[in-house]
Structure 1
Amino acid sequence: MNSAVETEDKKLKTRLNKLQKRLRREVGQAIETFNMIEDGDKVMVCLSGGKDSYAMLDILMNLQKSAPIQFELVAVNLDQKQPGFPEHILPDYLQSLGVPFHIVERDTYSVVKALVPEGKTTCGLCSRLRRGTLYGFAEEIGANKIALGHHRDDILETFFLNMFYGGKLKAMPPKLVSDDGKNMVIRPLAYAREKDISAYAELRGFPIIPCNLCGSQENLQRQVIKEMLQAWDKTHPGRIETMFRSLCNVVPSHLADAELFDFKGLQLGYAHGIHPGMQGFEKNGMNPISITQPAERIDILAL
């Protein structure tokens, strides 16, 4: 009996080590690719009490020990005063880790309940209020980066939500600056799979706090997309990975947004119709995209 227990414990430890190495590698790749964390950064790690944010903090603390740069981590949880919220869980857990942390108390629950009609999902307004509060608090504590726990599946779900319901090719970027230019948001789990995070959270025994304390209905549109992706993952292994890679390999000239790419300026006689110095455009008044690859004149008669 003891031998069987030891064997099982060994298997669990081996699985945990493999998952940790994989997540550590993926987080490290995301940080390097998008230059998410730099020397001297103060990173505010947003904790909701869910598996994703716990895993994010765990992996970032692990990387912090061996990183070639120095950066500070500060864990922050927003207590939105939802009925039944176990206020002791996060402080107790964070104290046991020895990581600096803050619990920010804001009664956004009452605001949401007052503004959202009964039976409607509260997630949209709740997230906007939460985001605004966290942005402001990051400035208060001098954090120049805000780390959110969105993973690869979240990014893909958002992409399909925007395409199916919003008519836009838009997802969650791994790194962005807020509209007012004051906050930089990073998503270190951008390359990580949700099923790996779920398994890691279970093996690590994180004290998960459920997100249904407010009684809100789940976002039905996102749930439909999630189920669609999960079904594809089962019937077509590897499809999720391929779809995510497509978000990292965008070809504006082969889409149809005339504000993103200067289709009107295409000219015969040049590779892909792009003459030297030609510029495309970004939407919403942002800086133009310079075409950096030199365009060679084509001898049309020789084609």
Structure 2
Amino acid sequence: MAFCPARAGEPEKRDPMTHTLTPETQRLFSTLVRGAAQAITDYRMIEDGDRVMVCLSGGKDSYTLLDILLHLQKRAPIDFEIVAVNLDQGQPGFPTHVLPEYLTRLGVRHDILTEDTYSIVKEKVPEGKTTCSLCSRLRRGILYRHAREIGATKIALGHHRDDILETLFMNMFFGARLKAMPPKLQSDDGTNVVIRPLAYLAERDIERYAVAKGFPIIPCNLCGSQENLQRRVVGEMLEGWEREHPGRLQNILRSLTRVTPSHLLDRDLFDFASLSVQPVEGDKGFDGEEYPEREFLAGLREMTLIQ
């Protein structure tokens, strides 16, 4: 089932979120919506009757995610609920009024959680070390618990294509693992399902849309101030590739959907030990096509390779 068409028999309604945008921004938003709808369909991220908890950080990605899901909620051939949730982590100077006021104007049901994880991270992580690992672990536990409390069936995060590729290369370079960030994930205890509807979307398009919309961006004082993060270095590498070879990042993303286990090196993923010579009629080329002996020799004669 495609995710984005209007419900059968219903006239298409003007969306107040988009009809005031410039034509260029409307076209950009349509591109973002199509990409998100395709990802949602491909991985069956949202189903009829779902209650989707949208994690809103105050950054460009989560604002864009919320816009897209609210738009799809009006047009999709299924019914699902949206609950926006923000976690106030106790950062000094955090503008606590911004998100509640923004979400109230939109008419979106929302919950603001308050947990001082900022102090814990600053206490536990030595000065100069990256805070992302501990911060994300604490944040994830709080959000997972809240999702269970409100009966959310899906937790939507704003990670996009570039986040997925950065994670892939981070794991390769620093963890010696071929592992990325999945579009859909079940928590270890099985009580939560995480979805990433922006998985197919390029960060540069999201950033253009966020600027055009003028979202009230709230910077993060923990990770945003760490200039030497290895993830940032990897991100700059990917940006350079895309500048020099447009389309390369999209090809890398597509490669994650077209995996050939027999041509990797993971012995748990493919049974290399059991491979042996099998008797066949005729010969096989390296590409797997069969060449019966008579036809093979005839072909060689025609190419004058044998006289």
CA contact (8 A) 1:80 1:106 kept: yes
The alpha-carbon deviation at position 119 of structure 1 amounts to 1.9
Per-residue deviation, 1:249: 0.9
1:75 alignment partner, one of 84, 94, 108: 84
* Structure 1 stretches of 4+ moved >6 Å: 298-303
What is aligned with 2:211? 202
Check 1:17–1:269 CA distance in 2 against 1; reply closer, same or farther (3 A cut): same
- Count of aligned positions: 267
Stretch of structure 1 that moved more, 92-101 or 261-270:
261-270
> How far apart, in 1, do the equivalents of 2:110 and 2:63 lie?
13
Contact 2:52 2:82 in 1 (8 A): yes
Report the residue type matching 2:138 in the other structure. Answer: L
Residue 287 of structure 1 corresponds to none
What is residue 116 of structure 1 aligned with on the other side? 125
1:88-107 equivalences in 2 (<5 Å): 88-107=97-116
- The secondary structure found in structure 2 opposite 1:86 is coil
TM-score by length of 1: 0.84
Equivalent residues in 2 for 1:36-51, closer than 5 Å: 36-51=45-60
- TM-score w.r.t. the length of structure 2 is 0.83
Which amino acid in structure 2 is aligned with residue 256 of structure 1?
A: L
Q: For residue 26 of structure 1, what is the aligned residue in structure 2? A: 35
Residue 75 of structure 1: SS of its match in structure 2? strand
Q: 1:264 to 1:301 in 2, by over 3 A?
A: farther
Match of 1:54 in 2: 63
RMSD of aligned C-alpha atoms?
2.0
Map 1:236-251 onto structure 2 (within 5 A): 236-251=245-260
Is 1:165 the equivalent of 2:185? Answer: no
Cα distance in 1, alignment partners of residues 77 and 105 from structure 2: 26
- Please say if residues 123 and 219 of structure 1, whose CA atoms lie closer than 8 Å, have aligned partners that are also in contact: no
Overall identity of the aligned pairs, in % = 64
Task: After TM superposition, give the deviation of residue 267 of structure 1 in Å.
Answer: 3.6
Contact 1:121 1:216 in 2 (8 A): no
Q: For structure 1, which runs of at least 5 residues remain unmatched after alignment?
A: 1-11, 272-295
3-state DSSP of counterpart to 2:236: helix
SS at the partner of 1:181?
coil
The structure with more radius of gyration: 2
> Which residue identity is paired with 2:70?
M
Cα distance, 1:214 vs. partner?
Answer: 7.2
How far off its partner does 1:157 sit?
A: 0.4
Equivalent residues in 2 for 1:122-161, closer than 5 Å: 122-161=131-170
Alignment of 1:247-258 (within 5 A): 247-258=256-267
Q: Counterpart in 2 of 1:284?
A: none
- Which residue in the other structure is 2:188 paired with? 179
Tell me the CA shift for residue 215 of structure 1.
Answer: 7.2
The 8 Å contact of residues 91 and 221 in structure 2, kept in 1 or not, is answered as: no
